[in-house]
Amino acid sequence: MKIAHLDMDAFYVSVELQRRPELRGKPVIVAGTGPRAVVTTASYEARKFGVGSAMPAARARRLCPAAINIPPDFAAYRAVSRQVMDLLRDHVERVEVVGLDEAYLDLSGLVAPNAAMRRLVADIRRATGLSASVGIGPNKLVAKVASDAEKPAGFVVLTREGACARFADASPGLVPGIGPKTVERLAALGITTLGRLAQTPEAALQERFGTNQGRDLLARARFHGSAQLTLERVAVSESRETTFNTDVADRAEQEAHLRRLSDELCAGLKRPGRTIAIKVRLDDWTTVTRARTIAEATADAHVVGGVALDLLRAYAPARPVRLLGVRVAGFDAPAPEVDAGQLALPL
């Protein structure tokens, strides 16, 4: 199997810089303006000051007073995202879009996969002016970590063994799915690198982290992962979810995340839906969903976000939250522009 992960560089900011070229080379952040506003993304210039995604905008202003703040324009990001994802599908038949600015591509069967990806990146730049980073590997985990390794404009090709060797000295936190709390618990066991983690006996990890998480940690450290793409089909629902680096206990913070997920979901929604649901996973892995069906189909972020917040308040998570998700379902009209090549079984 050969899988690529493509991720746009500083996506929201880069879209903004296309129409405000005078801001190029300056520290720029895209964030709302309210007291609870968080940074969605920062230009690489602003990142040098320690500004990063999900940071309260007020803190970003303290770290980098010169930063220029731009309010988010989700419609613009959605439009560029569509353009990028259409280009991906022009080049590769099997594509799994996992966010507005990232996707996995199945390169198996291509004669010259690396060259195909280079062409794709050049096409994206030509069509949108934007830069993307690519990672290529035998599974999604290797591809994802590789795409992040040399941002911006990175292009990193690794075998599984190559990934193990290259990142052996890195913190276990480099790997998606290993958050700061786990990193801390590993450090307490003297395991501070991915190399050490990969050599730890599974039983020892399972004793400390439980059967499932212990097994999962070892597999991730060894860069074993799935190469299965979830191909698009006639959607019965669309969702966005996020696993936090650090479990979130604060309700206001949970609500801010839920609002952002609702904004992102609605920005990419192809059709309005009548059922709005949330998914909550607690730090003990208890996972619940709560749904409500409303009278009128909607794709409005305020409506979806409002219902999502209601559902969260009604559920009132009793423990810190590990994952939050929002889903819209109950679409009336059939999906537009269904691509037969991507079609799985009819539902």
Residues belonging to the active site = 102
* Binding status of residue 40 toward ligand TTP by CB under 6 A: yes
Choose the contact partner of 12 out of ligand TTP, Mg ion, none; CB within 5 to 8 A by kind.
ligand TTP
* Binding status of residue 232 toward ligand TTP by CB under 6 A: no
Instruction: Say how many residues make up the chain.
Output: 347
Choose the contact partner of 54 out of Mg ion, ligand TTP, none; CB within 5 to 8 A by kind.
ligand TTP
* Binding status of residue 260 toward ligand TTP by CB under 6 A: yes
**Candidate residues 41, 128, 139, 262; the one interacting with ligand TTP per rule CB under 6 A:** 41
Least Å distance, CB 138 to Mg ion, is 22
Beta sheet of 68-70, edge-to-edge order: 39-42, 28-31, 68-70
- Tabulate helix, strand, coil % of the chain (nearest 5): 40, 25, 35
Least Å distance, CB 262 to ligand TTP, is 12
**Candidate residues 6, 12, 304, 308; the one interacting with ligand TTP per rule CB under 6 A:** 12
Of 264, 331, 246, 324, the residue nearest 289 (C-alpha): 324
How many CB atoms neighbour CB 108 within 10 A?
A: 12
Which DSSP symbol is given to 271?
A: S
* Binding status of residue 238 toward ligand TTP by CB under 6 A: no
Hey, which residues between 74 and 113 contact Mg ion (CB under 5 A)? Answer: 101
Q: Which two tokens stand for residue 340?
A: 């037969």
Instruction: In whole angstroms, give the CA distance from residue 115 to residue 130.
Output: 19
Hey, which residues between 78 and 107 contact ligand TTP (CB under 6 A)? Answer: 100-102
228 HSE (CA, 13 A, CB side): 2
Hey, which residues between 143 and 162 contact ligand TTP (CB under 6 A)? Answer: 151-152
CA dihedral (332, 333, 337, 341) positive or negative: positive
Contact footprint for ligand TTP (CB under 6 A)? 7-12, 40-41, 53-54, 100-102, 151-152, 260
Enumerate the known binding-site residues for Mg(2+). 7, 101
Q: Which residues are annotated as a binding site?
A: 7, 101
